[in-house]
Amino acid sequence: MNRRNFIKQTTIAALGSLTALDTLGSSNKDTMAFETGRRNVSPRAITMWDFSWLERRWPGAGYEDWDIALDELQERGYNAIRIDAYPHLIAENPTKKWLLKEVWNQQVWGSPDLNEVQVQPNLNRFLLKCKERDIKVGLSSWYRQDIDDVRMKITTSDKMADCWISALQSIEQDGLLDTILFVDLCNEWPGNLWAPFFSSQYPHVVWGQWYKEESLRWMKQALSRMKEKYPDIPFLFSFDCGDVYKYEEIDTSFLDLYEHHIWMVHQNNSEFYKIVDYKDGQFSPEAYKKVVKVAENLYQDKPLYWQKLLTDKIKLMGKVAKRVGRPLVTTECWGIVDYKDWPMLNWDWVKELCALGTVTAAQTGMWAGIATSNFCGPQFVGMWRDIKWHQEMTAIIRSAELDESIIMNNEVAAKLLRRL
C-alpha cells in the first residue's frame, strides 16, 4: 500500500464521519474549524521546536530566518509551537550572551557543539512573529546547560517558580502573554538530563517517576506559586512514556493538562528499541548504525503488531484523560524517538507510524494539541519537504472534534480551550 492510500484509508477507518475525505483534499485553513454547538474551538496542530528555535541559527541550520521558518510552518498547516523559554537564564540575566554546551552531537535538535545565545529580546521577537501569524506558543524548558551550569542554582521548587515568574514577566512587559498556550515547567520531569538540579538531590527518583513523593511535593509547590501569580495560564509538567494509569491512581488535580509523550518504540517495555539495541544515542555514532541496520526492517516484518502497540497506548491515554477530565497535548510522538536525514534511513515508515498516531489521537477527542512527530522542523529536511503530508495531517488535527468531557462544564480544561 502506498503512503497516500495508507493515510486515506487509515483516516477513513479511524475517523469515520469526520469528513476525512474532504480534509485530505483541502489546504484551506479557513475550513478547518468546526462548530461545537456553543463556540468555534478546534485542536491546535502543534510542533516542537524545543531549543532549536534559538540555537540552530547558523547558516543552513533551519532557523536562521524566523520569518521563513514560520511561514513554512504555517504553509504546512501548523498553528502552535512548543519551545524552550530558558527561564533559568532569563532569571539570571535575560540579555546576557550565554555559552551553551551541546546536549549531544548525534542528534539534530539544538546545536552539536558549543554555541552562543541571547534569550531576550530574542524570545519576545520570536513570540511577536508568532502572534502576527496566530501561532500559539507553549513554553517549556530543557534547562540547557551553560558553561557555568547556572541551572544548578535551582535547588528548590520555589527557585524554579521564581525563574518562570521572571520569564513570564519579561514576556508580559511586551504585552505578549496572550500568545502563550500553556507553560510546562520542565520537559519530561524528573529526567536527569533535563532536571539535574532535582535528580542530584533525589537520585532514587529516576526518569519517568514523576509520581514519587519528592517529585509530587516539588511540582505542587512550584505550580501553586505559578497559579497564584498567573491564574489564567494553564500550567503543567510534561512526562515521558510511563504508566498512564498513574494519572488517575494519584491526585493530579494540580496539573491543568497532560503533556504526555508517546512513542511506539517505548511500548511493551521498550521492546522495539531493545531488539534494535539502540542506546547511547547522544554521542556515539554506533547507535545510528544500529538504527540503519535493524529499525525499518524490524518494523516492516510485522507492521500491524507495532502499530497496535502505538494505537493501544494512545487510546488508553485518551480514556484515562477523559475519566480524570483533563485535556491532552502531545508534542513529542508517535513512532521512533531519534531519527534524522542519514544514509540508508528512510522517512516513509516513520511517516506511516506518525500518520497513524496523529489520526488515532484526533479520534479520541481528548487532545487539544496534536503534533505529527518530533521531527517537524526545517532541520529534518526529508520530513519537512513533504508539504502535502503535513497539510493532510494538520487538516485532520484541526478538523477533529473535542470531547464533551473537556468542552462542557470543565473549568480546568477551559483555561486551555480559551487560548486555542
Count Cβ atoms below 10 Å from residue 252 Cβ, excluding itself: 17
Per the listing, cell 505578549 goes with: 176
The number of domains in the chain is 1
Task: Give the pairing of strands 80-84 and 367-370.
Answer: unpaired
pLDDT value at position 114?
Answer: 98
pLDDT tens for the chain, 420 residues: list them. Answer: 454 455 456 555 544 433 333 434 333 333 333 333 335 799 999 999 999 999 999 999 999 999 999 999 999 999 999 999 999 999 999 999 999 999 999 999 999 999 999 999 999 999 999 999 999 999 999 999 999 999 999 999 999 999 999 999 999 999 999 999 999 999 999 999 999 999 999 999 999 999 999 999 999 999 999 999 999 999 999 999 689 999 999 999 999 999 999 999 999 999 999 999 999 899 999 999 999 999 999 999 999 999 999 999 999 999 999 999 999 999 999 999 999 999 999 999 999 999 999 999 999 999 999 999 999 999 999 999 999 999 999 999 999 999 999 999 999 999 999 999
What CATH number does residue 230 fall under?
3.20.20.80
Surface-to-core class of residue 372, CB atoms within 10 Å of its CB (0-12 exposed, 13-18 middle, 19+ buried): buried
Burial 196-207 (b: 16+ CB within 10 A, else e): bbbbeebeebeb
Give the whole-angstrom CA distance, residue 56 versus residue 111. Answer: 6
41's grid cell: 474551538
DSSP code of 173?
T
The helix or strand, by DSSP H or E, that contains position 230, with its residue range, turns out to be: none
Q: Determine the structural domain holding residue 182 and report its residue range.
A: 3-417
For the stretch 100-111, what's the b/e string if a residue is b when 16 or more beta carbons lie within 10 angstroms of its beta carbon? Answer: bebbbebbbbbb
Map residue 329 onto helix, strand or coil: strand
Taking Cα atoms as reference points, which of 389, 274, 292 lies closest to residue 339? 292
